Amino acid sequence: MADLGTLATTAQVLLAIGENASATQKLEANTNIWVLMAEADMEKAFGNKIGLVSKYATINSALKQWLALIASHRAAFYAISSHQNQWQLDTTQSKLNVCLNLWKGFLSDLKNNGADIRADLNL
């Protein structure tokens, strides 16, 4: 099976999940779903009408890496949340906190600098 998402790959999601990912989290069919969920969240954060994924080809490579960071960590948040018994509670919570803080930073950046970000991304 190939990666179905646009903004992040299975490998990037697994890196965001970190050590000792479960078999469920490593399954590409699952990571594909989580990436698509992350992309939907990002589209919604941009306002649903932007077409972030459809305009991906027009985005420069450095900004694509920034989007991949956001998307992979958002997908990892879903992966970790769906299979929390893989680690001790404090490890799980730490992993979720990292992903959630990155997401909150993304939302804050969009709120404070949305017009500049959209312009940089050619949206």
CA 23 to CA 86: how far, in whole Å? 10
Percent of the chain with pLDDT strictly greater than 70: 98
* pLDDT exceeds cutoff 70 at 23: yes
Confirm whether 3 is domain-assigned: no
What confidence category does residue 66 fall into, taking pLDDT thresholds of 50, 70 and 90?
very high
Confirm whether 1 is domain-assigned: no
* pLDDT at residue number 78: 95
CA 95 to CA 101: how far, in whole Å? 10
Q: Are 6 and 56 in contact (CB under 8 A)?
A: yes
* pLDDT exceeds cutoff 70 at 48: no
* pLDDT at residue number 98: 94
* pLDDT exceeds cutoff 90 at 103: yes
Q: Are 38 and 16 in contact (CB under 8 A)?
A: no
Residue type, 32: N
Confirm whether 103 is domain-assigned: yes
User: What Rg, from alpha-carbon coordinates, does the chain have?
Assistant: 14
* pLDDT at residue number 47: 83
CA 120 to CA 115: how far, in whole Å? 9
Confirm whether 5 is domain-assigned: no
- The number of folded domains in the chain is 1
Confirm whether 43 is domain-assigned: yes
Closest C-alpha among 57, 98, 43, 54 to residue 76: 98
Enclosing domain of residue 106: 10-120
Confirm whether 4 is domain-assigned: no
CA 59 to chain centre: 17
